[in-house]
């Protein structure tokens, strides 16, 4: 499996203090400005996400190429590229412009992080809450991902970690 030529691959997620990233198809918080920050950091990129994450959004996001990973060979959605595994998703990203942003859910984050040297950065929006939820961001060794940027906002902090 290869990284799309000359492009950064980053995981981008909003993560509560207890690791929760979702509850069913919902994000269990409303923090003003947090979604605008996601938009700012992902415009012009290739968004790679699972089918449930796509369903929670409900449409391709403007200004980004959307690649959806699904095990369902019959699944389609207008304006979306469909892949059935991570290698296929990365191959589709090769044909699009922009960096590759892994945008969820938990299984897609875990699959990307499990591939040695695939993910270059993790952009984690820290939400200072501990909501109930059924989906968490995968654990990783922080020593392998030192913080290179910390951007404080009212109600959340964006932390960029780059692979050591």
On whether the CB atoms of residues 67 and 92 are closer than 8 A, the answer is yes
> Is 71 a member of any domain?
yes
- Strand order from edge to edge, sheet including 147-153: 81-83, 65-69, 46-50, 100-102, 9-16, 121-127, 156-162, 147-153
> Is 1 a member of any domain?
no
> Is 80 a member of any domain?
yes
> Is 3 a member of any domain?
no
What's the domain range around 102?
A: 9-162
> Is 4 a member of any domain?
no
> Is 21 a member of any domain?
yes
Helix (H, G, I), strand (E, B) or coil at 111: helix
pLDDT band at 1; cut points 50, 70, 90: low
CATH number, domain of 72, equals: 3.40.430.10
Total tally of structural domains belonging to the chain: 1
pLDDT digits (tens, 9 = 90+) for 96-141: 999 999 999 999 999 999 999 999 999 999 999 999 999 999 999 9
> Is 2 a member of any domain?
no
């Amino acid at each position: 499996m290869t990284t799309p030529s000359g492009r950064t691959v980053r995981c981008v997620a909003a993560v509560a203090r207890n690791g929760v990233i979702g509850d069913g198809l919902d994000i269990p918080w409303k923090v003003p400005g947090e979604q605008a920050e996601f938009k700012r950091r992902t415009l012009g990129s290739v968004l790679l996400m699972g089918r449930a994450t796509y369903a929670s959004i409900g449409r391709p996001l403007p200004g980004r190429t959307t690649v959806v990973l699904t095990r369902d060979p019959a699944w389609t959605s207008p304006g979306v590229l469909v892949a059935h595994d991570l290698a296929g998703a990365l191959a589709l990203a090769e044909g699009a412009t922009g960096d590759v942003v892994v945008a969820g859910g938990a299984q897609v984050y875990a699959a990307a992080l499990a591939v040695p040297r695939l993910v270059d950065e993790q952009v984690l929006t820290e939400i200072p809450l501990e909501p109930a939820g059924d989906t968490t961001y995968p654990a990783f060794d922080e020593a392998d991902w030192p913080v290179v940027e910390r951007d404080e906002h009212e109600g959340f902090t964006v932390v960029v970690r780059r692979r050591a």
